[in-house]
Structure 1
């Protein structure tokens, strides 16, 4: 059970509140777009433990088809959406007025990795022109894969990325249409258990060590209209993130409730870090790497996406 589930005020997250007193907010309902990923486990646990409800917020998690759909639904069917920082930053750079409301997940050891079935492919620099499956071109998988392979000495122009769903990657490796696949958990563990796959390279080391993976964003319009509501959301999110960080077993256990993963596999899943707050320096890493890899039209200042007063 979450250490702070009994009371939010005991964790010091609601300044100015005492007992049943709650801060005044513009609205007490929030619809949050999510995908079935490890990153959102703290939100799932927070709902189970009624952390938002105790703070006076009614939160509904809405499963969306993909990150782009979630961003498009802001200000219509969603108030906040989860997304990879790469997608959120690209959308902002392309003109979508977003404000980041929290960090969701930070990569840890073997939480994202290149996986292969080819025993001869035993080091990242073994192939001059590797065929790599990624779930989405231009997203975090492509970015970290390219960065890691370039660091290993593979020329960028030789890297051949092929887009496909995680669920199809093992079959593609078996068929020999790709040499390796970029995967996240629990797909890494499933590929190891069910197909005898092995990790060719951890893509959360070197320049991508502790890489900021994903976060939550609202539209700037919604943020400007509901600053106290979103401040409260960030406070409860911090509580949920901290509790999840202190209880990885609960995180692994809750995965079975919203992901296609059995208890045995969930128990083996590598878990990264759940950041407690928006960190401008950490998030600027993502923007700068995107600039280096030329996936942004120009360098982005992450401060332009943060709530006023974020330090």
Structure 2
């Protein structure tokens, strides 16, 4: 798995080199069309999960269009896949879990967070992610995951790091957990079919799995830190330098969207039907994350410490003050 992670980092760095040699167009650099009354199309790499509901809600409410930004969302499996798209100019902005951003920066990939994304609810029994098992599984708590196979959406990332921390806190041996990579939307079937012993799922996959009889045994985000900043929206320093006005307007619109979604959870829940395949019962029962307007730096420092303990960053530690400005 470590060789795979290093290979990904090398590929991303290669993309950066290519991006640095390319010329900018109005679309890829998001040039200041909004200043002249025109609309600038902005591509955002996202994961089609509950966490990004404020982005879609902000689009619907006009928080972006009022600033001359026309959003176009493009889906990927995880933050680790979105990062190369942002540094190459395929996307102007991306949504990524914070561990992916830390890994990228530690490997020399130039990224910069510009707005908060999502946070844990802090509830260790009902959170936006959980490790689920089949109803009749012998696994009763986090410590029982030692020696078992657990699905995560991306290996060597925020999922396995926080799962290990939950196992550690529960008195188990985190080094004995075996992780395999499966996309979130495929996890309920993989768990039900016995391909894995457990699956670390985000919403709506978690609620779908529960509707099929699965039960949650631990909530790793909340167990790691009750205010854990889980994900943020980010861009490349190149775009921030070439078009600081666009970056500023996107950040302002995103912050307004987070604040609105937090104050109007029913609207945030309903917007999920526009970009996920969720039936009415799942929609009603799923757990929404917290959407604070600001990062929680103490939680990010703890997550960085866990990543360092797991050997995610190699020889260089991430610079959190630069990454999360």
Q: Same fold (TM over 0.5)?
A: yes
Question: Which residue in the other structure is 1:120 paired with?
Answer: 138
After superposition, the Cα gap between the structure-2 partners of 1:66 and 1:129, relative to the gap in structure 1 and judged at 3 Å, is closer
Q: Distance in 2 between matches of 1:152 and 1:132?
A: 16
Q: CA deviation at 1:54?
A: 1.4
The alpha-carbon distance between structure 1 residues 57 and 89, as it changes in their structure 2 partners (threshold 3 A), is: same
Residues 1:240 and 1:175: Cα distance change in structure 2 (over 3 Å): closer
Query: Is the 1:83–1:215 contact (alpha carbons within 8 Å) kept by the matching residues of 2?
Result: yes
- Counterpart of 2:318 (choices 272, 290, 300) is 300
Unaligned runs of 5+ in 1: 1-21
Show the counterpart of 2:73. 61
Q: Determine which of 246, 260, 284 is the counterpart of 2:277.
A: 260
Gaps of 5+ in 2: 1-33
What's the secondary structure of 1:295's corresponding residue?
coil
- In structure 1, how many angstroms separate the alpha carbons of the residues matched to 2:197 and 2:77? 28
Residue 90 of structure 1 is aligned with which of 98, 103, 121? 103
Equivalences for 1:106-185 in 2 at 5 Å? 106-108=119-121, 109=123, 110-117=127-134, 118-126=136-144, 128-185=146-203
Count of matched residue pairs: 285
Matched residues in 1 for 2:112 and 2:206: separation? Answer: 32
Find runs of 4+ consecutive structure 1 residues off by over 6 angstroms. Answer: 22-25
Alpha-carbon distance in 2 for matches of 1:288, 1:45: 34
Q: How has the CA–CA distance of structure 1 residues 222 and 279 changed in structure 2, closer, same or farther, with 3 Å as cutoff?
A: farther
CA-to-aligned-CA distance 1:63-107 (integer Å, 9 cap, x gap): 345433422222432111111111121111111111111110112
Q: TM-score, normalised by structure 1?
A: 0.83
Q: 1:60 & 1:126 partners in 2: Cα distance? A: 43
Within a 5 Å distance, the mapping from 1:162-311 to structure 2 comes to: 162-193=180-211, 195-297=212-314, 298-307=316-325
Instruction: Give the Cα separation in 1 of the matches to 2:223 and 2:82.
Output: 31
Quick one: structure 1 residues 167 and 206, their matched pair in 2 at CA, closer, same or farther if it must change by over 3 Å? closer
Partner of 1:70: 82
More helix by proportion, 1 or 2? Answer: 2
Cα gap change, 1:123 to 1:277, in 2 (>3 Å): closer
SS at match of 1:126: helix
Give the Cα separation in 1 of the matches to 2:183 and 2:241. Answer: 36
Relative to 1, partners in 2 of residues 1:228 and 1:40: Cα closer, same or farther, differing over 3 Å?
same
1:41 and 2:53 equivalent? yes
Q: How big is the shift at 1:44?
A: 0.3
Contact 1:131-1:162 within 8 A present in 2 as well? yes
Shift of 1:171: 3.7
Query: Post-superposition shift, 1:38?
Result: 1.2
Range that drifts further, 163-172 or 217-226: 163-172
